[in-house]
Amino acid sequence: MRISLAWGRVIFALSGYALAAPSTKFKLKESIAVPRGWIRRDTAPRGLTIDLRIALPQANFPLLEQHLYEVSDPFHERYGNHLTQEEVNELIAPPAESVDAVRSWLADHGLTDSAISRSPAGDWVKVRLPVSLAEEMLDAEYHVWEHASGDTLIRTTAYSLPEHLHGHVELVQPTTLFSRFRPQRAMFHFDQEGQSSTAADNAPAINVPSASGGTVDASCNTTVTVTCLKELYNAVGFTPSSNGKNQVACTGYLNEFANLADLQSFYEDQVPAAVNTSFKLVSISGGQNNQSEPGGEANLDTQFLFGITFPTPATFFTTAGSPPFIPDILTPTDTNEPYLDWLDFILNTPNPPQTISTSYADDEQTVPKSFAQGACAGFAQLGAKGVSLTFSSGDGGVGDGDPDPATQECFTNDGLNKTQFVPLFPPSCPFVTAVGGTIHVPERAVDFSGGGFSNYFPRPSYQDIAVPRFLKKLAPGTYAGLFNPAGRGIPDVAAQADNFRIFFDGRPALIGGTSAAAPTFAGFVSLLNDARIQAGKSPLGFLNPLIYGINLIQTGAFNDITTGNNPGCGTPGFNATIGWDAVTGFGTPNFGILKEIVLGL
């Protein structure tokens, strides 16, 4: 497919960028090998507009991280004393000399303060400018790149900065970020029989000692509903408050729209009390919620997350921007960076929802390490303010969900094409809770459950006991060289991840993936937050120190999953086992026990 470059023939008046930059000595800031699956096409249209984002150093981030762990550690005296946005901003504010150096650099290129936007803390700067000026400022060459899937991006494989700026700029994007940030969905098919989820099943109830009442309806073995999840995870009878003190949200990207009529059908089918209620829609960067184009991912996220948590006030964040991007006269601005826009927005929101679920991710290796670290620092800021973040761990087992069709192996993106397991980002960030998947009742690991170890982030301290125990169970030499045993382990927890009954375009359908597990787990986190907030306590915030701390004292707060594995990259993957494992983490939640624990903190 040839990309249209009609825009490149349009004369672009650079009236606002007339000043010439002074003579500058450049030094390479970042370069990458051409990522696998991408082909370079034409030179990027010089008049194409991009939003250049510049990250400045956060001088006191280690102190912010210290605060985060103290307020998130259930055994620390500061537990639950989250920081205000002002306190967070003060900790991440860049040094004054970095602010001045970047401002002068931009001014040298005719970009004054009126053309620049900054984050409240000043650690991110954004400026809209044509590709021609970005190339001049970064000593770079942008091209149109096309992925085998048809997605297109405007990127460069290397960029430089004036030598004196290297200590004042952490990263600049969009440059080397080739991430496709896709929804994590393993399967989607219509329920041809169209049976109501409330239809009686002749089979006897399944004995599950940890479940509400000790049993789960037999129909839950093939069709998962809100009722099934509340039975299985011991939450029957708990009704959260609707007073607005507790809030829950999920994110939507890539033209995934949540259909309101389908939501009502879902509520009629599974949550009758919620009929005629809806969610708050928050548009970011012009995000839409087109009712003529229902999205399977968006419907799944909103229906189950908001069904589990009803009547908790709910929000659907819809962020504009979607590949493929074809630069031409009608689309003069590259808008396929939706994830950065959402992160900008939520970091600037004084009182965000206390629980936010995201079911989108990409291979860690397609994300420049500098970008992953910067985004991960943003998640730390949210955790310090009391926000719990869940991300689906992936649908490719230990692989990337998109293995080479000829060899069924996974390759590195460093130009060496080595076989290697492929963790996902953002789940690999140690400041979020990664959710793997289970299937059936009694539960076992679902075979697509993403799991493994980060190649970017070292093992966080909260994993220092659980993860080495798992690694010691592996036979000597198991998968040597295929994963990083010193990396952050994925996932942290799990939840049901297949055969979820949703409504799509007016019809019942079954859908699966860890994109079902993440909103499910987030739903029960939100219920825990409600219990704490109604008791006059703070929300849970960053969950992982609590999760790992709970399991060090063996409370039964999680249902340990000990069967199943997550094949990928031509291997059987890891096995679920007693304790934490790289398939299901610590397992699935027991809400009743968790509620008593968190109310006692």
Contacts of 104 (CB under 8 A, 6+ apart): none
Residue 274: C-alpha distances to residues 182, 233, 267, 296 (Å): 30, 21, 6, 20
Among candidate residues 301, 341, 344, 492, the one labeled active-site is 301
The pLDDT, as a whole number, for residue 332 is: 43
Q: Report the C-alpha gap between 483 and 568 in whole angstroms.
A: 12
Where in 364-462 does DSSP place strands (E)? 388-392, 424-425, 433-439, 444-445, 452-458
HSE-CB of 524 using CA atoms within 13 angstroms:
31
Q: Which of 98, 197, 388, 515 is catalytic?
A: 515
User: Are 507 and 194 in contact, with CB atoms under 8 Å apart?
Assistant: yes
CB count within 10 Å of CB 484 equals: 18
Distances (CA, A) of 9 to 4, 15, 135, 327, 571: 11, 18, 18, 11, 50
CATH number corresponding to 187-327+338-553+561-599 = 3.40.50.200
Structure tokens at 552: 């060090």
Q: How far apart are CA 435 and CA 445, in angstroms?
A: 12
The secondary structure of 457-507 as a DSSP string is: EEPPGGGTTHHHHHHHHSPTTTTTTTS-TTEEEE-SEEEE-S-EEEEETTE
Angle among Cα 37, 40, 42 to the nearest 5 degrees reads: 150
Token output for 49: 């507009």
Q: Using one digit for the tens of pLDDT, what is the confidence trace for 344-393?
A: 899 999 899 999 999 998 889 888 899 999 999 999 999 999 999 999 99
Alpha carbons 216 and 13: distance in angstroms, whole number: 67
Residue ranges in 191-237 assigned as alpha helix (H): 226-232
SS3 566: coil
Query: Nearest 5 degrees, angle CA 285-CA 40-CA 32?
Result: 80
Which residue type occupies 230?
Answer: K
Closest CA to 180 of 434, 345, 17, 402: 402
Token look-up 């090998």 returns: 33
Find the catalytic residue in 73, 123, 146, 297: 297
Whose CA is closest to 318, among 261, 381, 267, 259?
Answer: 259
Give the three-state DSSP class for 361: strand
Q: Report how far residue 423's alpha carbon sits from residue 591's, in angstroms, rounded to the nearest whole number.
A: 28
> Distance between CA 519 and CA 495 in Å, rounded?
9
Q: Is 577:469 a contact under the CB 8 Å cutoff?
A: no
Q: 497 to each of 68, 137, 287, 513, 547, how far by Cα in Å?
A: 30, 46, 28, 5, 20
> What was the pLDDT predicted at 339?
76
Q: At what angle do helices 61-72 and 544-552 cross, to 10 degrees?
A: 50
Give the residue ranges of the chain where pLDDT is below 70: 1-23, 184-201, 322-337, 401-409
Contacts of 459 (CB under 8 A, 6+ apart): 467, 486, 487, 488, 489
Question: What letter would DSSP give residue 445?
Answer: E
The structure tokens listed for 178 are 């080739």
- The structure's pTM equals 0.92
**Domain edges within the chain:** 6-58+93-178, 187-327+338-553+561-599
Q: What is the DSSP letter of 52?
A: E
Is residue 515 flagged as an active site residue?
yes
The one-letter code for the residue type at 411 is F
Phi, psi of 101 (to 5 degrees): -65, -40
Q: Check if 265 is active-site.
A: no
Tell whether residue 579 is among the known ligand binding residues.
yes
Q: What is the DSSP letter of 163?
A: G
- Is the CB of residue 207 less than 8 Å from the CB of residue 426? no
Instruction: Answer for the pair 435, 428: CB distance below 8 angstroms, yes or no.
Output: no
Structure tokens at 236: 């029957």
Look at strands 206-207 and 215-216 and give their pairing: antiparallel
pLDDT at residue 334, rounded to an integer: 45
Q: Is 498 annotated as a binding residue?
A: no
Distance, in Å, from the CA atom of 168 to the CA atom of 56, rounded to the nearest integer, reads: 6
Q: 279-302: per-residue pLDDT in tens?
A: 999 999 889 999 999 999 999 999
